[in-house]
A and B are shown apart, each in its own frame.
Chain A
Amino acid sequence: GESVGLHLPTLSVQEGDNSIINCAYSNSASDYFIWYKQESGKGPQFIIDIRSNMDKRQGQRVTVLLNKTVKHLSLQIAATQPGDSAVYFCAVKDDKIIFGKGTRLHILP
């Protein structure tokens, strides 16, 4: 079955720098990928998604990159701000949605 993993459980980034959070998946048939942000005490919140017919998608200060060859997904946050402090996790869909375990992003002043 599908498995989804993140490379780092914790990431510390200086305020103003760019953050890159990675995710790997196992099923090459996966066709839809989503990044969620979960702030302390809140439910996961949709950030950005990408379908398998694309390799890059940009939102406001966020970019998702999809490399289907190596089955790797990344979330890039530009000019990281204190409000970006949260747990970020990817979700991958083939016949159902599988969630990664999350990377906690710490913002250093």
Chain B
Amino acid sequence: EAQVTQNPRYLITVTGKKLTVTCSQNMNHEYMSWYRQDPGLGLRQIYYSMNVEVTDKGDVPEGYKVSRKEKRNFPLILESPSPNQTSLYFCASSPRGGRAEKLFFGSGTQLSVL
């Protein structure tokens, strides 16, 4: 089944404790992206990747890192999480980012930073 898989679904952590949220897609998509979703603000892009070893900042990149060593994986890293990073996170992919194509989303990771 074609899908975007994120793990974990739920995560509670404490301020300053490094964490990684994994994202994997099995559709051979070139483009992958991370979003955070907050009440009243909608989906905001954190980072995106047009292809392997190519990553770029989105609208709200502060406090996050990403890597794209393989086509299928695009982990989101929080080196020193803070409470303002408590949010619902979504990973998404599409065949090619330069063209206008629909995004396929994962099921989300609800992160709480205490």
A residues lining the B interface (CB < 8 Å): 31-32, 34, 41-46, 49, 51, 89, 91, 93, 96-97, 99-102
- Are B42 and A99 in contact (CB-based, < 8 A)? yes
Is B104 close to A, CB under 8 A? yes
Determine which of B40, B43, B100, B107 lies in contact with A99 in the assembled complex, contact meaning CB atoms within 8 Å.
B43
A-B contact count (CB 8 A): 41
- Are A89 and B105 in contact (CB-based, < 8 A)? no
In whole angstroms, what is the CA distance A43 to B93 when docked? Answer: 12
* Chain A residues whose C-beta falls within 8 Å of the C-beta of B43 in the assembled complex: 44, 89, 99
- Are B90 and A93 in contact (CB-based, < 8 A)? no
Is B77 close to A, CB under 8 A? no
Instruction: Summarize A's interface: helix, strand, loop or mixed.
Output: strand
- Are A32 and B105 in contact (CB-based, < 8 A)? no
B residues lining the A interface (CB < 8 Å): 4, 40-45, 90, 92, 100, 102-108
**Which B residue sits closest to A47, measured CB to CB?**
B102
- Are B104 and A42 in contact (CB-based, < 8 A)? no
- Are A43 and B42 in contact (CB-based, < 8 A)? no
- Are A45 and B100 in contact (CB-based, < 8 A)? no
Beyond A99-B42, A102-B42, whether A43 also contacts B106 by CB under 8 A is yes
In the A-B complex, the 9 residue pairs with the closest CB atoms:
A32-B100, A43-B105, A101-B42, A99-B43, A46-B102, A44-B105, A99-B42, A43-B107, A93-B100
Distance in Å: Cβ of A96 to nearest Cβ of chain B: 7
Beyond A43-B90, A44-B90, whether A96 also contacts B103 by CB under 8 A is no
Distance in Å: Cβ of B9 to nearest Cβ of chain A: 9
* Chain B residues whose C-beta falls within 8 Å of the C-beta of A100 in the assembled complex: 42
